[in-house]
Amino acid sequence: MLAALDRLRAAFASAFASAATEVALRDENARFLGKKGELTGLLKGLGKLAPEERKQVGELVNVLKRDIETGFDARLAAIRGAAREADLNAAPFDLTLPPRSAPLGHKHPISLVREEVIQIFERLGFAVFDGPDVDLEDNNFTRLGFPPDHPATDMQDSFWTTRGVLLRTHTSNIQ
């Protein structure tokens, strides 16, 4: 049992020193201290020893376990420090490069439906025109041939904003 502990003491130091990455180091640590690790296997064999030997070997196992954990922590700090140092000493980021383009999102569902309806009516032969929503009385009625006493010019049929300016009531004034 003591020979196996000595062998593990020599093996964990060289295994940790040869681990170049954090993943490799964690794998080596699991090989020694994991659920099915070598030191865990030795702990299971303590029950077969005589009581006076069990106490002595148990103390040595606990010391070895602390040494393995300390060695793991030290090597992990060294690996992380080396990675940090490599990042700091790497070529600097070129700030003159153009930025990565960010996705701009998507259209609102109402806008998508509106565009689809417009496309349907355009296929049917209709034309779509854009114009001002607020227009002059002259453009909305007089130039379209509405007489001054026409019912559409009544105050209750049109939404007037100020004298002579109203919300467009007809599509004809933009055609």
Residue-wise pLDDT for 92-109, tens only, equals 877 888 888 888 889 999
Same domain, 80 and 133: no
Please, what sign has the CA dihedral across residues 27, 28, 31, 35? Answer: negative
Give the mean pLDDT of 69-93.
89
Q: What is the pLDDT confidence band of residue 172, given thresholds at 50, 70 and 90?
A: low
| d(C-alpha 131, C-alpha 175), whole Å | 9
Supply the DSSP symbol for 124.
T
Same domain, 84 and 131: no
pLDDT tens profile 133-171: 888 888 888 888 888 888 877 766 777 788 778 887 766
Q: What is the pLDDT confidence band of residue 122, given thresholds at 50, 70 and 90?
A: very high
pLDDT tens profile 126-139: 988 888 888 888 88
Q: How many domains, the chain?
A: 2
Query: pLDDT value at position 175?
Result: 66
| d(C-alpha 124, C-alpha 159), whole Å | 31
Residue of 74 and 152 predicted with greater confidence = 74
Indicate whether 6 belongs to any domain.
yes
Please, what sign has the CA dihedral across residues 58, 63, 64, 69? Answer: positive
Residue-number span of the structural domain to which 170 is assigned:
127-174
Spell out a b/e string for 120-146, using b for 16 or more CB atoms within 10 Å of the CB, else e: eeeeeeeeeeeeeeebebebbbeeeeb
Last residue of a domain, one of 41, 64, 89: 89
pTM of the model: 0.49
Indicate whether 116 belongs to any domain.
no
β-bridge partners, 5: none
